[in-house]
Structure 1
Amino acid sequence: MPRHLLMRLRAPLVAFGGETIDSYGVIRDFPALSMVTGLIANALGYDRADFALHDRLQARLVMGTRLDASGARLVDFQTAQLGKRDEAWTTRGEPETRQGGEDSYKSPHLRHREYHAGLDALVAIRLEPAHEQPTLDDIAVALDRPKRPLFIGRKPCLPTTRVFVDMIDADDVLDALQRAPAPAQSEFHFQLPEGEGALRHAQSRDVCDERNWKTGVHGGWRRVLEGSDPRATASPKQSNSLERSA
Structure 2
Amino acid sequence: MTHVLLVRLAAPLQSWGAVSRFSRRDTHSRPTKSAVIGLCAAALGRDRTDPVDDLAQLAFGVRADHPGTPVRDYHTVGAGRYPLRPRDVITDHRRAAAVAASMDAATGPGFGHHELAGWYGAPKKIAADPVSGTLVSGELSRTALITERWYLSDAAFLVGLQHEDRKRLEEIAHALEHPKQLLWLGRKSCPPSGTLAAGLLPGTLTEAFTARQLLPGPGQLASGHRPWAWIQTPPGTPGAAPVNDQPVSFDPARRIHTTRWEIRTRVTIAPTAADWEDIIP
TM-score category of the 2 structures, normalised to the smaller one: 0.7 to 0.9
- Could you tell me which of 99, 116, 121 is aligned with 2:157? 121
Number of corresponding residues: 219
- Structure 1, unaligned runs of 5 or more: 87-100
Any conservation in 2 of the 1:166–1:243 contact (CA below 8 Å)? Answer: no
- Could you say which structure has the larger radius of gyration? 2
Inter-partner Cα distance in structure 1 for 2:77 and 2:278: 41
RMSD (CA atoms): 3.2
1:193 and 2:225 correspond: no
Is the 1:165–1:243 contact (alpha carbons within 8 Å) kept by the matching residues of 2? no
Q: Does 1:232 align with 2:232?
A: no
Task: Decide whether aligned partners of structure 1 residues 218 and 65 sit closer, same or farther in structure 2, where only a CA change above 3 A counts.
Answer: same
Q: Which position in structure 2 is the counterpart of 1:182?
A: 214
Match for residue 210 of structure 1 among 227, 240, 246: 246
User: Is the 8 Å Cα contact of residues 24 and 113 (structure 1) preserved in structure 2?
Assistant: yes
Secondary structure of 2:19's aligned partner: strand
Residue identity over aligned pairs, in percent, reads 24
Q: Does the C-alpha gap of structure 1 residues 240 and 227 become closer, same or farther in structure 2, counting only changes over 3 Å?
A: closer
| CA–CA separation in structure 2 for the residues paired with 1:220 and 1:149 | 26
Distance in 2 of aligned mates of 1:147 and 1:203? 39
1:94 corresponds in structure 2 to none
Query: Could you tell me whether the CA contact under 8 Å between 2:212 and 2:276 is conserved in 1?
Result: no
Kindly state the Cα deviation for residue 220 of structure 1 after the two structures are TM-superposed: 2.5
Distance 2:176 2:63 in 1: 19
CA distance in 1, matches of 2:145, 2:180: 31
1:30 and 1:203 map into 2 onto residues whose CA distance is: 19
Q: TM-score under structure 1 normalisation? A: 0.76
Q: TM-score, normalised by structure 2?
A: 0.67
Residue in structure 2 matched with residue 156 of structure 1 by the alignment: 189
Residues 218 and 114 (structure 1), Cα distance of their counterparts in 2 relative to 1, 3 Å cut: farther
How many Å separate the matches in 2 of 1:126 and 1:26?
28
Distance 1:27-1:241 versus aligned 2 partners, 3 A rule: closer
Question: Which stretch of structure 1 is more off in the superposition, 71-80 or 1-10?
Answer: 71-80
Secondary structure of the corresponding residue to residue 27 of structure 1: coil
Q: In structure 2, do the counterparts of structure 1 residues 118 and 243 end up closer, same or farther at CA, with 3 Å as the change threshold?
A: farther
Counterpart Cα distance in 1 of 2:73 and 2:256: 24
User: Do the aligned partners of 2:243 and 2:261 also contact (CA within 8 Å) in 1?
Assistant: yes
